[in-house]
A and B are shown apart, each in its own frame.
Chain A
């Protein structure tokens, strides 16, 4: 089965090619092709997972890697990269997660990408999105990229798929940046926002990716290979730890930090998190697929993949692991607090995603490999569920603003139910999935931070994560009550609301099932540690040397207590007295703190001042073309710097070049004159002389035979005379 694993990304890529080149005329066939591609990939992924489980610990110790023979190679000077794939337990379980969620989201999209609207006569119309087939092509390409990344066996391949996903993310965030005539579900302002959100996402992640690529280059220079089984050997890691860039700074630390930059960009960690909330301009299945479940967790997956490198860096007493942990924990807290004060249903979830990714990164940073990857899997399920339910709400109501919702529980009972399941899972209430993974992270942090040898970093991480968990529970409660309970605050939207078609709620039900139960694969309190044994004992054949954290009832109680407190507070503020139409948010009593959270700590404005911001008549009437980018201070400085460099270049460098050119020109002129006068003169002289001689000599060619004979006889006579006289 493993030797066929390379087919898994091929199926969706094939679907992409088929749709783009052949099937794009027919929306239904395109959608079914995409679903079929991911279904086949899913079948193979499940096969891989079952075989991996069957092999048990052996596979963790010896991951299987394959390479395609022949021309599927990348020669790089002395070495040759083989296009290959590698299966280890983490890859196997991630394949299972990705294909399951992709399949659900693809099916959901069949319904979601149809828009209903009421025309002037009051007739209901359901029409396909104008770029329906293209949407399925894009998400198929994306699925191929993600699956390829998971099974990549070297960093170059991983980076290629990483960038394919970045491209798809860009295309899909900006999917509604063009409005076809007669499209009713979006307006012009939305197209402008989508356009700039796509650019913002692309450029921001590019920053991280560029640094990541520099890391890959350094790793290649010092390890002479990028294939995982080769670089993660004791010798190579030892070599990386021993060679130093600066005194006291081994290369492994530098490379690990550079790779971390890739994670920060892709997984939207502070300070490159700003693109993810704006990415919600894309269609909701995209938000669920790319910006919640899969692509953003690829950053975490990258750290998990490169974990031996990070461990080696930690062994050299570099600050790598501490940086990872603090970035993750700070992001978790930072994003969770912002999530409290947002009104857009998808943006709340977006900040929640950032926060939960922070949990995973922090978990890896405190060397809780099992907990981090476990949370990666569980989070993917319930966050995809939450996004898709939110999408169903948006689809039904026609707005993103929670202040215009309320009371939807009556109109959309199934959606409400699955949303609440997802929210409870996210908040961390047992026995739902989020509890088990989040509890494990908190438990590990508590163990390290307040155990026998207290680690100040781990204790700080624990405190930040605990507050973040509290905020998580609170904002999810707020969201549920604002959306589904109380009464409809916007009469028109409430009337418009309707339950989704079965093609949309069936995937939600499946995901809800997983969100409720997936946690049991590693329910340590119940003595189930299947996942930990499967994934966490060995990392790419290297023994993971972290201790297994015993179940701590104190921590479990504490985390449940934190979640319940958050929920209780949310119920007090939003559940007891539901918001009426036009009523202000009760949290506004916080005053300046509310303003700060509401405006996301003014991070966008800060970036606007420092880097760049939109300028011009954006808004309801703004056309995309009239919006300009206003450079920020840093950009202006860079611009000024480049002006100076340009002037220098123009005056000095160009001057020198021009001087050299002028000298060469003068020399060439002299040389040309000599050539023309003497060399050509000599050649012409030869020609002229020959011509003159010929002109003279031709006169004897009279054509009269007697002339010739006379000359011949004269010559003969002279010969006779000479011959006789010299004898």
Chain B
């Protein structure tokens, strides 16, 4: 089998790419894209650990997969809320540039 660290490194890379997107992009939708990437990285980790670490009897306990499914669900919910917020901000402030949204500034 392919060694576990391969998957972990790929997941880490994907996570850091997504993190960069979330931190460095100006467009709110681009930030959401970054966050989706990070969630994918996490899911990849969950499934990899299920396959390699946990399955003393992988047929009996499917926790890794179950939680991966939950994360997928959460990602869908998050995407729906996030995009709704983007639409709402766009309506009220005529922008999707998060640098213009700084109401909490001192």
Contacts and interface: CB of A to CB of B under 8 A. Distances in A.
A91 to B, nearest CB: 94
A704 B98 contact: yes
Nearest to B100: A704
A710 B99 CA distance: 14
Interface string A296-316: 000000000000000000000
Interface string B10-36: 000000000100111000000100000
B23 A701 contact: no
Given A709-B23, A713-B19, A713-B23, A701 B98 contact: no
Interface string A687-706: 00000000000110111111
B22 A701 contact: no
Contact of B23 (A698, A699, A703, A710): A710
Contacts of A706: 22-24, 31, 98
Contacts of B23: 706, 709-710, 713
A120 to B, nearest CB: 102
B99 A704 contact: yes
A703 B22 contact: no
Contacts of B31: 706
Given A709-B23, A713-B19, A713-B23, A703 B98 contact: no
B53 interface: no
B22 A709 contact: yes
Contacts of B101: 703-705
A703 to B, nearest CB: 3
A632 to B, nearest CB: 89
A365 B16 CA distance: 127
Interface in A674-724: 698-699, 701-706, 709-710, 713
Interface in A110-132: none
A703 B19 contact: no
Contact of B102 (A698, A703, A709): A703
A702 B98 contact: no
Contact of B106 (A701, A705, A710, A713): A701
A579 to B, nearest CB: 118
Contacts of A699: 106
B105 interface: yes
Contact of B104 (A701, A709, A713): A701
Interface string B78-100: 00000000000000000000110
B56 interface: no
B103 interface: yes
Contacts of A703: 101-106
A6 B106 CA distance: 86
Contacts of A704: 98-99, 101-102, 105
B86 to A, nearest CB: 13
B82 to A, nearest CB: 12
Given A710-B23, A713-B19, A713-B23, A705 B103 contact: no
A705 B105 CA distance: 10
A702 B105 CA distance: 5
Contacts of B99: 704
A699 B31 CA distance: 24
Nearest to A694: B106
A699 B105 CA distance: 9
Interface in A256-309: none
B70 to A, nearest CB: 23
Contacts of B105: 701-704
A37 to B, nearest CB: 88
Nearest to A708: B104
Nearest to B24: A706
A706 B27 CA distance: 11
Contacts of B104: 701, 703
A698 B106 contact: yes
Contacts of A701: 104-106
Contact of B98 (A698, A705, A713): A705
A342 B23 CA distance: 127
Nearest to B25: A706
A698 B105 CA distance: 9
A710 B25 CA distance: 12
B78 to A, nearest CB: 15
A701 B102 CA distance: 10
Interface in A432-466: none
A448 B19 CA distance: 135
Contacts of B103: 703
Nearest to B104: A703
Contacts of A710: 23
Nearest to A713: B19
Contacts of B98: 704-706
A702 B101 CA distance: 10
Interface string B47-91: 000000000000000000000000000000000000000000000
B75 to A, nearest CB: 18
Interface string A400-418: 0000000000000000000
B8 to A, nearest CB: 14
A702 B19 contact: no
Nearest to A704: B102
A200 B99 CA distance: 101
A710 B103 CA distance: 18
A713 B35 CA distance: 13
A251 B28 CA distance: 110
Contacts of A705: 98, 101
Interface centre among B103, B104, B106 (most CB of A within 10 A): B106
Nearest to B31: A706
A713 B98 CA distance: 18
Interface string A4-41: 00000000000000000000000000000000000000
Nearest to A714: B23
A164 to B, nearest CB: 81
A699 B106 CA distance: 8
B104 to A, nearest CB: 4
A698 B106 CA distance: 6
A716 B8 CA distance: 18
B57 to A, nearest CB: 30
A698 B104 CA distance: 11
A693 to B, nearest CB: 14
B103 to A, nearest CB: 6
A157 B36 CA distance: 104
B42 to A, nearest CB: 14
A704 B102 CA distance: 5
Contacts of B24: 706
A703 B99 CA distance: 9
Given A699-B106, A703-B102, A703-B103, 8 more contacts: A702-B102, A702-B105, A703-B106, A704-B98, A704-B101, A706-B22, A706-B31, A713-B19
23 contacts: A698-B106, A699-B106, A701-B104, A701-B105, A702-B102, A702-B105, A702-B106, A703-B101, A703-B106, A704-B98, A704-B99, A704-B101, A704-B102, A704-B105, A705-B98, A705-B101, A706-B23, A706-B31, A706-B98, A709-B23, A710-B23, A713-B19, A713-B23
Interface of B: 19, 22-24, 31, 98-99, 101-106
Interface of A: 698-699, 701-706, 709-710, 713
The 3 closest A-B pairs by CB, nearest first: A703-B105, A703-B102, A703-B104
